Structure 1
């Protein structure tokens, strides 16, 4: 058994230690690949040492921030900062400049690492940021400690912060979710479950500031595999890379799967090397899952959970083809329950808010004890759960079916209307490529559902015709009041539909 295997099988280990073990065993094996080239484990380990030593030389404390598109040295900084005993606060380039300033300062970042595109975008606030280092210029090389430098050993414990992931948000400053080394260690130990071994090749096209990406990147490196980084997602480029590199693993969000499966040349690519495809972050409709199972080799595994941790459900779709409308069962050792408005567990079969507990749970929201308390729920024994804000119900086999975000549930005429139910009906129509339903104010009903639809290519249908078709299939209290066609739906960088934007943009027709 190798040193890396010994670490992975231990009760606690760290990513920097695993990188060092793989570098000692197979220094020339590719660890990271980006459009600029390949970084082997030996090179990654040596450069992470130089990052760690430079941070220690500069007296860096607490954390560092990164605002960059995916690249090899993004991961190098991540590993090096951890090796120096610091946390990492990766920030979304799509955030407003003022938000990036606020998040970097909230994280107490000693330095912020930027690429050229994002430094230019932040031009008006550069003076408000911590000390800046450019990743894509000689400045980064000059900042690194000299080749061969070893940092002073830093003791990492399960309770120490690994990273601070800032929650997505369209207004205000997102909350900093503090994930510990212990929480990340549980994620990395999943490397053994889904074939993240030394021959694994993982293609990642979602951004590195997102937990969606990190729950696949870190197991890849933990297992000694290779991660291929796409700075920006493009369907044809993705399929080309998957074929060229004989990719075995990937993490995608539902809208990416939708676009890939709709690509006219999809079936011409050789994707036979795939072992496992993962999905998380947004609702994943059953028909799309079925199409992937039919046409794309390898397992399809859906994770349902939150960046805050707590509880995770896993659906191995190929093993449960009759459960594609669910997000699976709670993972081993994860306790997931449903609670009502009164904070008490709901009876079996009823809908409630999903709360979860596991060893993989955030420490707290950074500097926000009030928000932390709002996110917590405790059972009668004092066991700590994280509230998801999602509504769901368990079926008779223990599979969890998501309804909607609690805040997106529509209360129309006193009845609860779940947008996901309406969206599922609309997706049955061949003219519908994408859809989102939101509740808008109504004098008669309080709220009423409106659908925003992206037509399938070549589809010719009017809103009145589609509205009549849908309402004929919906219950009386579910019926849509309007349908609007859109070229696209507004989405976050990881594919979540921004329903607040649709709600804010909608203008009801004036009554004569």
Structure 2
């Protein structure tokens, strides 16, 4: 007897490709994905398209366990490629279009993708696809073989793939801006845990999830796949625009959404926010960046429905959940550990600390990455072994539990900057700055930004004065031309030298404070 949808979504493990096929059989005419332009596919159409993708990959010799890379803005072909690849047992490496050509080429090579799917915007920025991969134009533009031409014929059915929980689902790169990025391998089993919890937050057939964050972000995928598994409808935006977002939310009677804090800020700042009917909203989610308590309070006061904040990592491990509408007195926290998640704090020596003590956050759960692709050393560095011999993932964040078990973030141990919800690594930018012949040394810090949450600012020491030495504006322009969009410097200050501790460590907090004072 074939499994039913209820059997599948309540099982300890399932496969997204199988769920999509059952949804297509059960509700063939129900809309699965709708673009902001109005273009849409039903579950039957989406299922058939995923079959054609899977059959085409098998035809071209892309084997189970291999990867394909995709670098484009959100679209129905992008979504179908993702589901079709998974159906064939092929992992997907979704890459950020804002990455530099060199970074993209490095990530494509790292994941071993022989096929690279992109759109015209990426093609123009890249000049050409990475030499190691065959290019396909997702949007049908003429720079490469078109997606429609590449697909297997209408009606094609792929050979069945047996997919185990440990098989790779996707590879998400933690930084698309370095020559040695870390590819986070998320397994089918890990992704299923996200689907499995979907029923608890109302991802049923009546759900309409509006997503304006990109499909290459784990932030998006934790809502995208559970919505489809539940038989709901996903409405995709190619890029976030506050006014367009509100129009779509009202038009489609949005029930669920995922936004990063800077997007909530832009929505709350609109004078016409209250003119839109958002009464259909059931739950709003937030993750990826620090979410100010006062902004949470604004959202709760002005936007119907609940507000849920997730604190966690793409690598998985432990997740904290703040049901902000249920705990308005805890908006300064990121909530309590999710059911089944073990979150602890450790000191600099790796020793677990007690309640009320500040420490680095480490977590363990059923949803954990398989490791960093091809980098066992980095995987080991990100792992903490408990006294019981269990593996936890280190977050690099510093926090403290209060007496009620709610976690407050104190600081980031790492110097990562979160700009517009995306991770920006200062070391990547610093490495680019020091390539200029006039530069001695550089340090990059994140400073508050109304537009992006945080923006990178550089402090640079130049070589001895001389003829033709570059000035601050010229150097910032030179650097920004070599960086990805999310990395670009908001400001650059020339200094005599960088402040250091007695052991030679650059004191970035002093730099950040100095910039804030001058601003």
Is this a same-fold pair by TM over 0.5? yes
Whether the 8 Å contact between 1:30 and 1:226 is mirrored in structure 2 is yes
| Secondary structure in structure 2 of the residue aligned to 1:202 | strand
> Judging changes above 3 Å, is the alpha-carbon distance between structure 1 residues 132 and 403 closer, same or farther for their aligned structure 2 residues?
same
Aligned to 1:153: 160
1:115 paired to 2:119: yes
1:128 paired to 2:136: no
1:227 paired to 2:234: yes
Q: Distance in 2 between matches of 1:175 and 1:50?
A: 31
Cα offset, 1:348, TM superposition: 1.7
Cα offset, 1:181, TM superposition: 0.3
1:409-443 deviations in Å (ceiling 9; x for gaps): 9xxxxxxxxx99xxxxxxxxxxxxxxxxx9xxxxx
Q: Distance in 2 between matches of 1:113 and 1:450?
A: 34
Q: Distance in 2 between matches of 1:44 and 1:226?
A: 12
Aligned to 2:199: 192
Cα offset, 1:166, TM superposition: 0.4
Aligned to 1:76: 80
1:105 paired to 2:105: no
Aligned to 1:505: 492
> Judging changes above 3 Å, is the alpha-carbon distance between structure 1 residues 36 and 142 closer, same or farther for their aligned structure 2 residues?
farther
Q: Distance in 2 between matches of 1:395 and 1:169?
A: 36
| Secondary structure in structure 2 of the residue aligned to 1:128 | coil
> Judging changes above 3 Å, is the alpha-carbon distance between structure 1 residues 2 and 85 closer, same or farther for their aligned structure 2 residues?
closer
Q: Say which is worse superposed, 382-391 or 112-121, in terms of deviation.
A: 112-121
Aligned to 1:86: 90
Whether the 8 Å contact between 2:362 and 2:395 is mirrored in structure 1 is yes
Correspondent of 1:335 among 339, 342, 347: 342
Cα offset, 1:95, TM superposition: 0.5
Q: Distance in 1 between matches of 2:176 and 2:352?
A: 29
Aligned to 1:10: 11
Q: How many aligned positions are there?
A: 436
| Secondary structure in structure 1 of the residue aligned to 2:387 | coil
1:293 paired to 2:294: no
Runs of at least 4 residues of structure 1 off by over 6 A? 448-451
> Judging changes above 3 Å, is the alpha-carbon distance between structure 1 residues 390 and 451 closer, same or farther for their aligned structure 2 residues?
closer
Q: Distance in 2 between matches of 1:213 and 1:450?
A: 27
| Secondary structure in structure 2 of the residue aligned to 1:356 | strand
Correspondent of 1:59 among 58, 61, 64: 61
| Secondary structure in structure 2 of the residue aligned to 1:311 | coil
Cα offset, 1:185, TM superposition: 0.2
Coordinate RMSD, CA, aligned: 2.7
Whether the 8 Å contact between 2:309 and 2:324 is mirrored in structure 1 is yes
Cα offset, 1:137, TM superposition: 1.1
| Secondary structure in structure 2 of the residue aligned to 1:159 | coil
Cα offset, 1:346, TM superposition: 1.5
Q: Distance in 1 between matches of 2:449 and 2:116?
A: 39
> Judging changes above 3 Å, is the alpha-carbon distance between structure 1 residues 156 and 127 closer, same or farther for their aligned structure 2 residues?
closer
Whether the 8 Å contact between 2:103 and 2:176 is mirrored in structure 1 is no
> Judging changes above 3 Å, is the alpha-carbon distance between structure 1 residues 194 and 106 closer, same or farther for their aligned structure 2 residues?
same
1:366 paired to 2:368: no
> Judging changes above 3 Å, is the alpha-carbon distance between structure 1 residues 98 and 36 closer, same or farther for their aligned structure 2 residues?
farther
Q: Distance in 2 between matches of 1:119 and 1:449?
A: 30
1:201 paired to 2:208: yes
Whether the 8 Å contact between 1:303 and 1:313 is mirrored in structure 2 is yes
1:167 paired to 2:174: yes
Query: How do residues 284-433 of structure 1 correspond to structure 2 at under 5 angstroms?
Result: 284-408=291-415
| Secondary structure in structure 1 of the residue aligned to 2:197 | helix
| Secondary structure in structure 2 of the residue aligned to 1:109 | coil
Aligned to 1:43: 45
Cα offset, 1:128, TM superposition: 1.7
Cα offset, 1:407, TM superposition: 2.5
> Judging changes above 3 Å, is the alpha-carbon distance between structure 1 residues 65 and 169 closer, same or farther for their aligned structure 2 residues?
closer
Cα offset, 1:102, TM superposition: 0.7
Cα offset, 1:5, TM superposition: 1.7
1:311-368 deviations in Å (ceiling 9; x for gaps): 0000000000000000000000000000000100113211100000000000010000
Q: Unaligned regions of 5+ residues in structure 1, if any?
A: 410-418, 421-437, 439-447, 457-489
Cα offset, 1:143, TM superposition: 1.0
Aligned to 2:33: 32
Whether the 8 Å contact between 1:187 and 1:215 is mirrored in structure 2 is yes
Q: Distance in 2 between matches of 1:327 and 1:453?
A: 20
Whether the 8 Å contact between 1:112 and 1:129 is mirrored in structure 2 is no
> Judging changes above 3 Å, is the alpha-carbon distance between structure 1 residues 119 and 381 closer, same or farther for their aligned structure 2 residues?
same
Q: Distance in 1 between matches of 2:235 and 2:300?
A: 23
Q: Unaligned regions of 5+ residues in structure 2, if any?
A: 419-425, 427-442, 452-479, 498-513, 515-519
Q: TM-score, normalised by structure 2?
A: 0.80
Q: Distance in 2 between matches of 1:216 and 1:349?
A: 33
Whether the 8 Å contact between 2:106 and 2:179 is mirrored in structure 1 is no
> Judging changes above 3 Å, is the alpha-carbon distance between structure 1 residues 234 and 509 closer, same or farther for their aligned structure 2 residues?
farther
Cα offset, 1:171, TM superposition: 3.7
Whether the 8 Å contact between 1:115 and 1:136 is mirrored in structure 2 is yes
Cα offset, 1:380, TM superposition: 1.2
> Judging changes above 3 Å, is the alpha-carbon distance between structure 1 residues 449 and 157 closer, same or farther for their aligned structure 2 residues?
closer
Cα offset, 1:173, TM superposition: 3.3
Cα offset, 1:121, TM superposition: 1.1
| Secondary structure in structure 2 of the residue aligned to 1:95 | coil
| Secondary structure in structure 2 of the residue aligned to 1:391 | strand
Q: Distance in 1 between matches of 2:172 and 2:206?
A: 29
